[in-house]
Chain A
Amino acid sequence: MLAVRELALDLDAFEGPFDLLLTLVLKEELDLAEVDVAGIVLAFLERLAENATRPVSPAIHDGSTDTTAAPATSRRADAPELDLDACGEFLVLVSALLELKARGLFPDEEAELADLEPEEAAEELARRLAAYRRMKDAAGWLAERLEAQRDRFFRLGPAPLAPRPEQKLAPQDPAGLAAVLRVLATDPPQLSLAHMALRFPPVSQFLERFRAVLGRRRRFDFDAEVADLPRIDQAVAFLALLELRRSGEITIDQAAPFAPIRVAREETVSDSERTSTWTLRSA
């Protein structure tokens, strides 16, 4: 008998005896989808043809049972001997392989297909084959198209920038937002613009005021006299004091730096003359 299990195979996915292939497939170390089952069949047929041309071997006689012996003997004269045991074993193995492969290719619909009647299953198979066939033809059309467009050169820009991932805010407290808004909503402190519009009182106002004071009293204390006035008025009052000193109407005395300034009336010249002198100068 032809040893089916020792059939030497030389396939794309596998090289070695058939027996080893079966072992690897059953251990799931070889993906059956990649195995060309038709290649196995061809290898077996070649082997079968080799054996048939040889003289009848004792193995065939030994393998023949009583039931197969009679027709085999009768055919032996005109047709090449067929090793029925080997063929039977091979058929069983290959059909099992094919079933495994078919299930492997449609893993999800395994159960679904099992429920179908043979006619329905055939229709389903035909439908799927047709769907694949259309896509295969479409792929062929695309391949032709691509070949036809080989001499089309065009400019390719960089791919459009991917949209930036959305920056998500951490959970926020509405009260916190309100608090921040309240801070922002209050008016800022008013800046003082007072220095931009200083109003200087006329020097003459203090000249007259000091003369009036000196008319009542012989001497007075400058600091005490202007203590209630704004700084600008105090400055102008001091100018008036210097003016009176220059015209000789008063004498000024200060014991020490930053000490109170003491003002006394100068008795030599009459008040009216002083006034006219001042008026002339300022004109």
Chain B
Amino acid sequence: MDAPLRLISSNPLDQLARTVEALLVVASAPLSVEELAIAADDGEERVETALGLLAERYREGRSGIVLERVAGGFAFRASRDAAEACSRLFERPVQRGLSPAALETLAIVAYLGPCSRPEIARIRGVAADSAVAGLVERGLIAEAGREDAGGAVRYRTTPLFERVFGLDSLSELPRLDDLGDSSDEILARLHSVAEQRSA
């Protein structure tokens, strides 16, 4: 994109940045570039440039408010050095006390979603009903239609999940192939255990 003209004293891009700033202040959820462009009645490329200006103005360490890219959009949050004060003002029921079972269930839904409770139970080896219900209540996962055959409700993660975990999108999760051991390694270990026993 071309650099904005410096000759003009009242830079129109600066006006657009002020508009985008205002939109982000009144929004309670992250706004995408497209949403901002429609609301500001301007081009997406210019909105992105304006967001660049704002990101510089609202960066960590410079302002109490920080502009961040999260959940597929842009949103303001408190700066990290204000976190302690914020925590005295607010409780955070969404994040508080996610049990290992809830985190495993959340991981399965995030990677394999939309998926149903039986699918989750098959992977974890135990029923997932209460974990799923708890995550739905916290707004981290939501119903996403039903399976064609069995009619079991399927679940996917919500934009709130991405926001709470500070993810721009689910693609920021580590690759599944990079996690855990391969089944070949586990099989080899099973065999070695079996051989030890038979010896």
Contact = CB atoms under 8 A, between A and B. Distances in A.
B190 A131 contact: no
Nearest to B125: A105
A137 interface: yes
B186 A133 contact: yes
A54 interface: no
B108 A135 contact: yes
Nearest to A143: B103
A141 B174 CA distance: 8
Nearest to B86: A153
Interface in B156-199: 160, 163-167, 173-174, 176, 179-187, 190-191, 194
Interface string B20-34: 000000011100000
A92 B17 CA distance: 75
A258 interface: no
Interface in B103-147: 103-104, 106-108, 110-111, 118, 122-126, 139
Contacts of B166: 145, 148-149, 152
A78 to B, nearest CB: 22
B107 A125 contact: no
Contact of B80 (A130, A139, A152, A156): A152
Contact of B83 (A142, A146, A150): A150
A154 B68 CA distance: 10
Contacts of A146: 95, 98, 164-165
Interface in B65-86: 68, 75-78, 80, 82-84, 86
Nearest to A122: B190
B173 to A, nearest CB: 7
A106 interface: yes
Contacts of B163: 154
B77 A152 contact: yes
Contacts of B61: none
B90 A153 contact: yes
A138 B176 contact: yes
B143 to A, nearest CB: 11
Given A123-B183, A155-B28, A157-B28, A135 B77 contact: no
A24 B180 CA distance: 36
A122 B164 CA distance: 39
B125 A134 contact: no
A140 B178 CA distance: 13
Nearest to B95: A146
B180 A155 contact: no
A145 B110 CA distance: 14
B151 interface: no
A123 B94 CA distance: 39
B173 A141 contact: yes
Interface in A154-171: 154-159
Contacts of A139: 100, 103-104, 106-107
A138 B173 contact: yes
A151 interface: yes
Contact of A131 (B84, B123, B165): B123
20 contacts: A130-B185, A133-B179, A134-B176, A135-B108, A135-B123, A137-B179, A137-B180, A138-B110, A139-B104, A140-B103, A142-B107, A142-B110, A142-B165, A150-B95, A151-B80, A152-B68, A152-B77, A152-B80, A153-B86, A158-B28
Given A106-B125, A138-B174, A154-B163, 10 more contacts: A126-B190, A132-B123, A137-B180, A142-B103, A149-B165, A149-B166, A150-B95, A152-B83, A153-B86, A158-B28
Instruction: Please list the 8 inter-chain residue pairs (A to B) with the smallest Cβ-Cβ separation, ordered nearest first.
Output: A157-B28, A151-B83, A133-B180, A138-B107, A126-B187, A130-B183, A134-B180, A154-B77
Interface of A: 33, 105-106, 108, 122-123, 125-143, 145-146, 148-159
